[in-house]
Structure 1
Amino acid sequence: MDIVKIKPVELDTLLEAVDQSYEGLLLSDIDGRILYANQAVEKISGFKNEEIIGKTPKEMEENGLIISQSMKILSKDPLTISQMLSTGREVFITSKPVYDKNGRVICYIANYQNLTMLNQLHKEHHKYIDINYTELQQLRSQFLQTEDWIGNSYKMRALKDRVRKVANTDAIVLIMGESGVGKEVVSKNIHKNSNRKDHPYIQINCAAIPEALIESELFGYEKGAFTGAMVTKPGLLEAANGGTILLDEIGEMPLHLQAKLLRVIQTKEIMRVGGTKAIQLDVRFLAATNRDLENLVIEGKFREDLYYRLNVIPIHIPPLKERKEDIILLIQYFLSKFNNKYSKKKLPSKQVEQMLVNYHWPGNVRQLENTIEHLVILTEDDLITSSSLPREFSKDIPDQPTKEVIPLKQLRENTEIKMIRFALSKYKSIREAAKHLDVDHSTLVRKMKKYGM
């Protein structure tokens, strides 16, 4: 927007907003003479703006306001320098020329930041937390290289090598592991490194779709196939044509649909509900489960022929408790992620780090991620101490409050977590567990996600 076209009231509002910014802002003429400085410059420098407005860097040096000055700040290219002030503060200045329509420099605009405060914060963190800076840089490098797939343990290196070998093929992969270990991450990594990476990636949660709708969702339906089918709708399998399909929680698929899925995998064609014409399918199938499919086959709850058809390349993801050496890497990664997301500067004490490493993590990486987000949001100080940890990290959690009164909501959530885990361990089926807990299947799935299960 051209500033000469701004109405006076709009210009006043704009200047007021700039003046209240937390970041310092300076304007100077082509000789470096300061024309404007907002309130943040006063707070950062320790000078009153009247002391610097109207002066050049050279005049400020002569008046003893700055220890040294550099005319490089008047460069025709964007430039960043540090400047020592007589107040003992060091500031970080990023200067950029402003051009008119004819390409002539008409003034300079500079951002003004407190480098002394940044250095002080850095020292304070290292005072309380003995983390080597080089180590943090190495961790950051690993995070960037692995692109959210964190782990350098022997088991994770072996897993990554196996994924690398199968990614650029069309072989069916069965991904197994406890809830929260990262089956989706492995699946997406396979797709991303395959020759189908530029085509659709469709994830189908067989446990989340109601049994009455799962067939029409998978295969689609023709207009008039049933009451309410006002238009023809392609299914998820058809939508993934040319790409990759992840059948998540495959162990929860109803038996009658398992037979239809087996036929789709074998023939590479589907038929919409109410349709009469077969549709050719070109997709790669991946399947994921936290269930023991072999036991389900023995119990008659999973088709044996489908199990062997899916189990071409089995990949087992180890639970977090079996690769504790990766936990510190994951903690640092999630801290960086959520500190950036919420503009925080949280870091854990050594005691907290050790408690996190020693915890058994029934919800695996997903639970760890949720825990770190919880700590970043709710911890008051930048230093995360053991008092900030959720109650499940305490060794002795009473079933009922005795000496300590806790919020009823927290008590209810603790009880829900225990009962859901007990039901899942007893019945080994989300639908069956939901039935005995007397809740809808979708309600149980939502609560499991909430608690990182």
Structure 2
Amino acid sequence: MLSLLSNVLNTSSDGLFVCNIEGYPILYNEALLEMTSLSHAFINSYVIYDAVEMMAVPKTSAAIVLETKQACTTIIEYEHGKKCIVTATPYLDADNEILFVVSNLRDITELNRLQKELEETQQIKDMYQKNLERLRNEIGNQQHIIYQSKNMKQVMSLAERFAENDLPILLLGESGVGKDVLANFIHEQSKRKGPLIKINCGAIPDHLLESELFGYEKGAFTGASQAKKGLFEAAQDGTIFLDEIGDLPYSLQVKLLNVVQDYKIRRLGGTETREVNVRIITATNADIEGLVKQKAFRLDLYYRLNVLSIHIPPLKERKEDIPSFVFYYLRQFEQKYHIKKKVDNQVLQQFMAYGWPGNIRELKNLMERLYHLSEGTTITTDYLPENLLRHRSGLEKSEEWSEHDQHRTLKEAVTSFEQVYISRALSRSTSLQECASQLGISISSLVRKKRSIK
């Protein structure tokens, strides 16, 4: 009968151990030996108290049950690496005395490994989900920051670092370089949970700008039938972006200075001071230092806004980015209008040679115009506007022999030819590395020679 019972126990994948009230083993199976790495000889030679005292096994659940007469469950990690959940249950007689204790061991080593893998998989899933959501937001907002050039990489590096704090930021650059897009990027990269509120200080009449920024109380002026909070309050816990800050009326600059210093506002017609928690980003394409010298912009306000500043280079100084912009806008138009088109290489050459006074805004508008004007599936130079073609003609004429050339020295003529030749190579290339390779010179030599081109 005992042999039959032993065979039955060995069919279980769980470890089973039965001991009497003195701790001597009565029955156990092979699964127990595998989980604990104990031998038949050891188990048959010692009671459970001896095994614990000899530190052959940790304090067992069976020993705890013999002391307390209560069922016990614990997790034991054995020296060889196995981890088991052990449940010991007492079997009592009619007088509530223990007859024997049955212990069940379940190996959870594999379960723990699977749990860890599941957690790691979940972390990877969360990371991809977060990145996917970010990409969806970027596509939805159509606010990509596209760059390949070295100087824009420096700009983005600054923007990422500045996003980590709450100090005011002044964005400088020509009109159309993407100051509003960079402001949006900084806000999205920050830890601020509130909204990004944008306002163009030059687009709102002076007499309305104060009420827009700071709000007003009921009865503050004719028509103010109820109180209204301003944009600073609307941007609570977020960011306020003041574009064209150079156009801010002088009379409002003092009030803005107080906000920057104390982060408190007072509504128009009100007496109550309200605290605001906002990040202030300003931008201008004007010579703000010149405005300060002309007494058109307060020096103290300039210092407060210019704690951190980023200058965004014009498109003519980041021509490596032009092809990326072209293909990005093409994809946008294809998704919107469902017609796939490509750009002829000569068009790209014209783009690389052009000065882009309107910067990225001009490039985007031109790409949309060319997309709709072109009749076939390829955008060619036939559809380019006259100003781009005139620019190209001027470049070609610079190579022609003139009366002035007859009075040049050989060195001057060679230098002039080199400058024109390098200019044309730059217009054909999408990067300085490509241009240097075509010319057979190093990038450092190309940069040095490029500086001498007028």
Give me the TM-score of the superposition, normalised by structure 2: 0.54
The answer for the alignment partner of 1:312 in structure 2 is 307
The one of 294, 298, 301 equivalent to 1:303 is: 298
> What one-letter code is carried by the residue in structure 2 that aligns with 1:220?
G
Shift of 1:204: 1.2
Distance 1:148 1:242 in 2: 24
Distance 2:390 2:251 in 1: 45
User: Deviation per CA, 1:264-317, whole angstroms, max 9, x where unpaired?
Assistant: 111111111111111111101000000111110001110000000000111000
The answer for the alignment partner of 1:246 in structure 2 is 241
The answer for the alignment partner of 1:160 in structure 2 is 156
Task: Kindly indicate whether residue 365 of structure 2 is the aligned counterpart of residue 370 of structure 1.
Answer: yes
Shift of 1:396: 7.1
Would you say the 8 A contact 2:218–2:225 is kept in 1?
yes
Aligned length: 254
- 1:3-402 matches, within 5 Å, as 148-196=144-192, 198-395=193-390
Q: Which runs of 5+ in 2 are unaligned?
A: 1-134, 393-454
Distance 2:216 2:274 in 1: 12
Would you say the 8 A contact 1:339–1:376 is kept in 2?
no
> What one-letter code is carried by the residue in structure 1 that aligns with 2:373?
L
Distance 2:386 2:224 in 1: 49
**RMSD of equivalent CA atoms:** 1.8
For 1:394, what is the secondary structure of its paired residue? Answer: helix
For 1:218, what is the secondary structure of its paired residue? Answer: helix
Shift of 1:147: 6.5
For 2:296, what is the secondary structure of its paired residue? Answer: coil
User: Deviation per CA, 1:186-220, whole angstroms, max 9, x where unpaired?
Assistant: 10000000011x31100110010111100111111
> What one-letter code is carried by the residue in structure 2 that aligns with 1:149?
I
For 1:229, what is the secondary structure of its paired residue? Answer: coil
The answer for the alignment partner of 2:32 in structure 1 is none
Shift of 1:392: 2.4
Would you say the 8 A contact 1:206–1:247 is kept in 2?
yes
For 2:280, what is the secondary structure of its paired residue? Answer: strand
Distance 1:224 1:267 in 2: 27
Distance 1:313 1:268 in 2: 17
> What one-letter code is carried by the residue in structure 1 that aligns with 2:189?
N
Distance 1:153 1:253 in 2: 33
Distance 2:382 2:209 in 1: 45
Shift of 1:152: 1.2
User: Deviation per CA, 1:424-451, whole angstroms, max 9, x where unpaired?
Assistant: xxxxxxxxxxxxxxxxxxxxxxxxxxxx
- 1:420-439 matches, within 5 Å, as none
Would you say the 8 A contact 2:177–2:315 is kept in 1?
yes
Give me the TM-score of the superposition, normalised by structure 1: 0.54
Matched-pair identity in %:
50
For 2:282, what is the secondary structure of its paired residue? Answer: strand
Distance 2:209 2:368 in 1: 33
Bigger Rg over Cα: 2
